[in-house]
Amino acid sequence: MHGGRIYAYAESDGIPVESILDFSANLHPCGPPASVLEAVQSALPLIQHYPDERQRRVKEVLSERFNVPTESLVCGNGASEVMELVFRTVKPQRTWILEPAFGEYEAIARRCGSHIMHCTLRQDDAFTLPLAALSEWVSEGDMVVINTPHNPSGRHFPKSSWFDAARSWTKRGVHVLVDESFLDFMERDEVESGMCESVHNPRWHTIRSATKIFAIPGLRFGFAVLHPDMAQRVNANRDGWSVNALAQVAVAAAYQEPSWLVQTYRWLAQAHAFAHSTWGADARIRMFPFDVNFFLIRLKSEDLSLLIQRELRRRGLYVRNCESFRFLGPAYIRIALRTEAENRTLWQTFSDLLDRASERFG
């Protein structure tokens, strides 16, 4: 399961794609930036040629933006492809997935023949990393996947709280894959990133996505920062043409647009304030702590949640049902933040439905 399946939504519900207001995909609602659209338009003649299989220009931009050597970069058709390239190269015996988690981790690990080990995030007042348990259980040849900011909760695990423990695992022969796909939505992303560790540590692999922050899922672009030796191994055993020419041009333009991030942080601060004053202030809703562009809620019953989700769909409003997330279920709903007007529309509709449903569910 994955959010943002607007064509499937339109087909199953018999509505035009244009009428869908999608809160199920964690994408920047204001994108893509104008500079990206202009760059893609100018680059359209490039589609008559094969793309640059070494992705040289976009790697130069990424190298400058994140202060990492180009030799450490691996670009792919979305973060999922890059993760799979790393898995195929490492070939971990066991993969530790901290649940609930993005379903692609398990799917990729299974395709690569790795044995899946599920480890539950502690769900007290929030989701927290079970570092002590992992330190006891992991062993040489394993892969641990750490997702921060975490999907589906939207919570960021501060680097200071887990970095030393994870680095100690790599000294024991464990590989650590850190998925930072949503870290661009945080102002301190350079401080919180593990990219620098990847450059020097052959068992530390950092994944990023340009799809979310720049709202280009139709083009798709993700990249990894790896130890140069690991990057060379990955790039030597892959389809170099999987990253199309327009995606390369779009991302090169996007990461040279610093004003986009400034605008993003301003929008996000306002969206967070609205979410906390509405969803977070309603005693009938449990909203989990979050730091980025989406959040997780829980209603008191699965039946209530499913009823409200059905009624939202009838009105063209789509949220992320969390039934496919291990250890969650249909009582949980993930909601992406969109524009001020769209966020208000969803909240007003949701709260009205909750008022009416409360008479039935108590």
pLDDT digits (tens, 9 = 90+) for 102-119: 999 999 999 999 999 999
Find, among 260, 245, 241, 220, the residue nearest to 40 by Cα: 245
In the chain, which stretches have pLDDT less than 50? none
Alpha carbons 30 and 213: distance in angstroms, whole number? 10
What domains appear along the chain, each with residue ranges and CATH number? 6-31+270-361 (3.90.1150.10), 34-254 (3.40.640.10)
Closest CA to 37 of 245, 214, 218, 250: 250
What six digits make up the tokens of 252?
A: 């090169």
Q: How many helices (H) and strands (E) does the chain have?
A: 14, 15
Distance CA 264, CA 268 (A): 6
Tens of pLDDT, residues 175-203: 999 999 999 999 988 889 999 999 999 99
Residue 18: its pLDDT value, please? 84
Token digits of residue 5: 């399946």
What does pTM read for this prediction?
Answer: 0.95
343 vs 165: CA distance, rounded Å:
38
- pLDDT at position 362 is 60
Helical segments of the chain, H only: 6-13, 34-43, 56-66, 79-90, 104-111, 131-137, 159-170, 189-192, 195-200, 228-235, 245-254, 258-277, 302-314, 340-361
CB proximity list for 167: less than 8 A, separation 6 or greater: 176, 197, 201, 204
List the structure tokens of 351: 């709260």
**Cβ neighbour number for residue 16 with a 10 Å cutoff:** 8
Residue-level pLDDT at 19: 83
